[in-house]
Amino acid sequence: MIQLPDSVKTYFDASNMEHLDSFLAAFNDDAYVFDFNRDFKGIEAIRNWSKTDIFGVHVRFEITDATEQDGVYAVIASLDGDFDKTNLPSPLYLKHTFKLAGGKIKELQVSLP
């Protein structure tokens, strides 16, 4: 597995430790998050998304694979938490695709692997 940039590591570590401020500090102020069919632009929208979809349900990530191509980082992680798991595979894996600018997350796309 490749060495991940600090902002990408922080995204997962801060999520697992439930440190919202550290989580948000990994993003540029004008970052985008594309979480399946939902878009969140800017740090306040990302704060609201993360409060409900990550911190509010105590998501825990375990990275299982990571690759880098042309400065884009793709991370596969299993996740668990206090969310409705009806009809979801177990374990549940998500792909997080990160684009960075200035060492911080500029764009994040969350999808199925």
Query: Residue 13 is part of a domain; what is its CATH number?
Result: 3.10.450.50
Report yes or no on 1 lying in a domain. Answer: no
Report yes or no on 27 lying in a domain. Answer: yes
CA distance 72 to 50: 22
**Structural domain range at position 38:** 6-111
Note the pLDDT of residue 84.
Answer: 92
Report yes or no on 22 lying in a domain. Answer: yes
pLDDT, tens digit, for every residue of 7-66? 999 999 999 999 999 999 999 999 999 999 999 999 999 999 999 999 999 999 999 999
Report yes or no on 94 lying in a domain. Answer: yes
Note the pLDDT of residue 42.
Answer: 98
CA distance 14 to 58: 11
CA distance 86 to 63: 23
Note the pLDDT of residue 91.
Answer: 94
Check pLDDT > 90 for residue 107.
yes
Report yes or no on 90 lying in a domain. Answer: yes
DSSP, residue by residue, the chain: -PPPPHHHHHHHHHHHHT-HHHHHHTEEEEEEEEETTEEEESHHHHHHHHIIIIITTT-EEEEEEEEEETTEEEEEEEEE-SS--TT--SSEEEEEEEEEETTEEEEEEEE--
Count up the domains in the chain and report the number: 1
Note the pLDDT of residue 1.
Answer: 74
Report yes or no on 45 lying in a domain. Answer: yes
